[in-house]
Structure 1
Amino acid sequence: MTDFQTKAPGVHLEEIKAVGPIAGAGTSTAALIGTTREIAEADLGKPVAVTNWTAYVSRFGEFGTEPPTPTLPHAVRGFFQNGGTTAYIVPVQDMTGLGDALTALTRTLDVSMVCLPGITDAVLQKTVIDHCQEMGDRIAVLDGARDEAAPQNMEPVRTQREGLVTDRGFGALYWPWIRISDPGAPADEPALMSVPPSGHIAGVMARSDNERGVHKAPANEPVRGAVDLEVPLNDGEQAQLNNLGINALRVFPGSPPMVWGARALSNNTAWRFVNVRRLMAYISDSLLQGLRWATFEPNNTTLWKKLERTVTEFLTRVWQSGALFGETAAEAFYVKIDEELNPAPVRDLGQVFIEIGVAPTRPAEHVVIQLGLWSGGVRVNEG
């Protein structure tokens, strides 16, 4: 505080710290759990941040050629190939270490996607979904089960899906596996190999977030590094998968393998789409981080007005980015903080409640074309 005894009488200007706008939380950091070629005892079960493929190799080794070949390195490389910039690697000896790995990730607050590359056991995958739901700010990106003897058989992934569906949609399942150039094959004898898609998909999500925003469905996007798919799906097969909330990868004429689904594993229509779940996680995480300044402030109407202004300003920016539906901000969201929500008994407990409602945009999953014949003002519709 300024010592006004040392100043001449008059009007004085003093700068004070003001409440700043809420900054958006990060959405493109992935955690990948699995076995690596090289594992230091000190790294087991602990998240290790890497920012490129070279950093991963120097810490955990490359692919290796002798079986069993770990799937994690291919997932990590696929993540960075597709636009990912930061990943936490959580090495485990085997899946008995999954619980410890997930516990460690509860302390890593910038994670927004969790992958378990190559693991298709529904019980283990459900453990990851439960972790994401408990944290509330991340989603499980999961690999669909496959029948190695008959890759086109969809029964394994159908059965797997039944054990993963929840009300709140904190998981997403992708199928089929992708085909990549085998990095272990001799240069004069190139070959392809099948790998799980989850690491690549997490990279696609990161790329889509950075280029368009978390509200854009991470679909109709190429999978970089994928040469082909283990199973080329037709429209009828994809329809079956889509109705089950399983996201298909497709190859169309003249295009590389594409992500062609944006469904979350939810039986609740409100949480049907991956981008809606991730947008809500982004909003809640941003608010949690951006409103910490209010902790221990006097719980009165002055605080309520500051909170209302700060939240409204943030959600207005979210709406202007195209993430919320409505011609006006009032149609896109509302913020309520008043004595009805915060009566004296609530205030006596040291609590303050803010009610927020948002209208997220949803992807145009089905674009319907009405094709007609037109001649001299007469139109005949086909559908």
Structure 2
Amino acid sequence: MSDFETKAPGVHLLEVPAAGPIAGAGTSTAALIGTVAGAVAEEDLGKAKLVTNWTAYVDKFGALDEALSLPHAVRGFFENGGTMAYIVPVADMSGLDGALRALTRTLDVSIVCLPGQTEFENQQKVITHCEGMGDRFAVLDGARNDKDPSDTGPLLTQGGHLLTDRGFGALYWPWISVKNPKPPPAEPKLVQVAPSGHIAGVMARSDNLRGVHKAPANEVVRGALDLEYHLNDAEQSVLNNANINALRAFPGGPPLVWGARALASKTEWRYVNVRRLVAYISDSLLQGLRWAVFEPNNTALWKALERTVTEFLTRVWQAGALFGRSAEEAFYVKIDEELNPAPVRELGQVFIEIGLAPTRPAEHVVIQLGLWSGGGRTGEA
């Protein structure tokens, strides 16, 4: 029986579900693939398991092991502000393909790490996975020459092989020095470990404090007591031009992330934060517009979609992620008959065109310095 059959004749108010505002997708959940110290059942290899702190990781997968990169990476992730991580244990890199397939069903992942693995064939697989998913970013370790850390030839070769048009990954170098968990009496108290897990934590921290639009650079790497190699400005310039991100330690200060370049061959995807921002916006729209599926494909739907997307992008602009003095300068949303002619509508399709003007990092702050004789400046009264 309808509610109206029980009411007196007249005008009635009926509340109906409406398209609500789009909620932003998560950006800081990491997936880390590698070998763990503890025993793992055969059926659990290659399966993603969620942990939310270092203690939970140790309980499931065992403690630190100097010979393994993954445990140090996980601890570094949580030390630097990460809060959610999927651990994908593998016996060796032959299990990487299965691990990446498992992550296609783990939809809240937004950062993928392969700690300590610097073979570009394996790293390319991770980048290809991230590009195919469209909602995640690969954080990778630069090749290490422990006999001569100043030799960056292998690193530059690695970076060149990993460049893609769309830039769904970034490479970080050098490796970092952390406390050795079990130093023998005559051995150093520091051990060199891959930085990717720590960098993923820095990204999570920066996202939570400033937003995904802020380049995760000029940020302290917590837990890093030193760097395996100290770059000078000229050496970093070579790496930066090759889209490789440096870790630096300036006099009296802790190790910092000092680069924000993505492994992109095209200028528009040069920066880590631009690639991750667009992935965030895309993922948020995909999740937030599901209500429109199977709705009548007419101008009323188009207007509702336009309003919903515009409201979301206005919030993104107000957060400082898009460049422009007004929302109109920062983005546009187009959904009309030009994009959706009758043949398109007959196929059950709706096309929305969106243009974005993302903010880019001030990578070079230029100071114009000259000598002045004093007195009034030219043109002053």
The one-letter amino acid of 2:217's match is A
Correspondence 1:325 to 2:323:
yes
Name the CA distance, whole Å, in 2 between partners of 1:154 and 1:370. 32
Q: For the residues of structure 1 that align with 2:238 and 2:17, how far apart are their CA atoms?
A: 57
**One-letter identity of the residue aligned with 1:174:** Y
- 2:216 pairs, out of 215, 218, 222, with 218
Q: Which runs of 5+ in 2 are unaligned?
A: none
What does the per-residue CA deviation read over 1:130-189, in whole Å, with 9 as the maximum and x for residues that have no partner? 110001111110000011111121111011112100010011000000001111126998
Q: CA deviation at 1:49?
A: 0.4
Q: Following the alignment from structure 1 to structure 2, what is the Cα–Cα distance between the partners of residues 116 and 2?
A: 58
> Alignment partner for residue 303 of structure 1, among 301, 304, 308?
301
Instruction: Look up the match of 2:32.
Output: 32
Contact 1:181 1:190 in 2 (8 A): no
Does structure 1 residue 376 correspond to structure 2 residue 375? Answer: yes
Task: For 1:347 and 1:165, locate their aligned partners in 2 and report how far apart those are by CA, in whole Å.
Answer: 38
Which runs of 5 or more residues in structure 1 are unaligned?
A: none
The amino acid across from 2:376 in the alignment is: G
Q: Which residue of 2 aligns with 1:242?
A: 240
Tell me how far apart the structure 1 counterparts of residues 186 and 307 of structure 2 sit (CA, whole Å).
64
Where 2:371 maps in the other structure, the secondary structure is strand
Per the alignment, residue 147 of structure 2 pairs with 149
CA distance in 1 between partners of 2:141 and 2:376 (Å): 52
Distance (Å, rounded) in 1 between the aligned partners of 2:4 and 2:215: 57
CA distance in 1: counterparts of 2:306 and 2:224, whole angstroms: 47
Question: Are the counterparts in 2 of residues 263 and 273 from structure 1 also a CA contact under 8 Å?
Answer: yes
Question: CA–CA distance in 2 between the matches of 1:189 and 1:167?
Answer: 45
Deviation larger for 360-369 or 152-161:
152-161
Structural mapping, 1:13-162, within 5 Å: 13-38=13-38, 39-64=40-65, 69-162=67-160
Q: Which residue of 1 aligns with 2:195?
A: 197
- Matching residue's letter, 1:54: T
User: Which residue, out of 160, 174, 177, partners 1:176?
Assistant: 174
| Distance change (3 Å), C-alpha of 1:297 and 1:378 | closer
How far off is 1:255 after superposition? 1.2
The one-letter code sitting in structure 1 at the alignment partner of 2:310 is T
1:225-374 residue pairs with structure 2 within 5 A?
225-374=223-372
Determine the C-alpha separation between the residues in 2 that align with 1:309 and 1:186.
Answer: 64
Q: Partner letter of residue 336 of structure 2?
A: D
Q: CA deviation at 1:78?
A: 0.1
Q: Normalised by the size of structure 1, how large is the TM-score?
A: 0.96
What displacement does 1:378 show? 5.2
In the TM superposition, residue 251 of structure 1 has moved relative to its aligned partner by: 0.2
1:310 and 1:64 map into 2 onto residues whose CA distance is 50
- Whole-Å separation in 2 of the counterparts to 1:150 and 1:327: 50
RMSD: 1.4
- The one-letter amino acid paired with 1:4 is F
The number of residues matched between the two structures is: 376
Q: Cα distance, 1:371 vs. partner?
A: 1.7
SS of the aligned residue for 1:373 comes to coil
Secondary structure at 1:372 match in 2 = coil
The amino acid of 2:375's aligned partner reads G
Change (3 A) 1:188 1:164: closer
CA distance in 2, matches of 1:265, 1:8: 68
Deviation of the 1:296 alpha carbon:
0.5
User: What amino acid maps onto 1:294 in structure 2?
Assistant: A
The superposition leaves residues 192-229 of structure 1 with CA deviations (integer Å, 9 ceiling, x where unpaired) of: 00000000000000000000000000000000000000
One-letter amino acid of the structure 1 residue matched with residue 110 of structure 2: S
CA contact (8 A) 2:65 2:71 kept: no
Q: Which string of whole-angstrom CA distances, capped at 9 and with x for unpartnered residues, describes residues 1-33 of structure 1?
A: 842121112222222111100000000000000
Give the whole-Å Cα distance in 2 for the aligned partners of 1:189 and 1:176: 22
**More deviation, 153-162/314-323:** 153-162
- Give distance in 2, aligned partners of 1:278 and 1:147: 30
Partner SS, residue 162 of structure 2:
coil
1:134 & 1:288 partners in 2: Cα distance?
Answer: 15
